[in-house]
Amino acid sequence: MGQYLKAVMLDFEEFKNISLKGSKMASERESVTVHKHEYLVDGRKANFCIENYLGGTYYLAPDEILYIKDQYYIQESKNSTRKGLPDLTDIQDGLFKLILYSNIDSINLNNQP
């Protein structure tokens, strides 16, 4: 068994804290990174977190969150400059987020429903 796995098993709460901090920092970095072929309606990326029923927290930086006619739309954009389709990892990421986002049952913005 590897050292990392042993450390996780010994102190799972510490692992969660380290993992969440890394996830949050990655989300914050992505929210300020603009890629060459991205087009954003207002020029800014969103940043938010999702909590699941088990207490897990996911920090995410979708390309945009649009508010249109009393509904929120979480937009993820994938592009490819050299091929007909995005890379497999981009497709997998998009499918994961599609499943994740489609299971949201409530949303709060600044602690307001």
Q: What is the pLDDT of residue 17?
A: 67
Which run of H or of E encompasses 20?
helix 12-32
Q: Which residue has the tokens 């649009």?
A: 66
- The rounded percent of the chain whose pLDDT value lies above 70 is 74
Contact (CB, 8 A) for 91 and 85: yes
Q: What is the pLDDT of residues 39-69, one digit of tens each?
A: 566 666 777 888 777 677 788 888 778 888 9
**Its pTM surpasses 0.75:** no
Map tokens 């920092």 to a residue. Answer: 25
Q: How far apart are CA 20 and CA 52, in angstroms?
A: 14
> DSSP class of residue 110?
T
pLDDT at 18 over 70: no
C-alpha torsion angle, residues 60, 62, 67, 73 (rounded to 10): -100
φ, ψ of residue 49 to 5 degrees: the values are: -130, 150
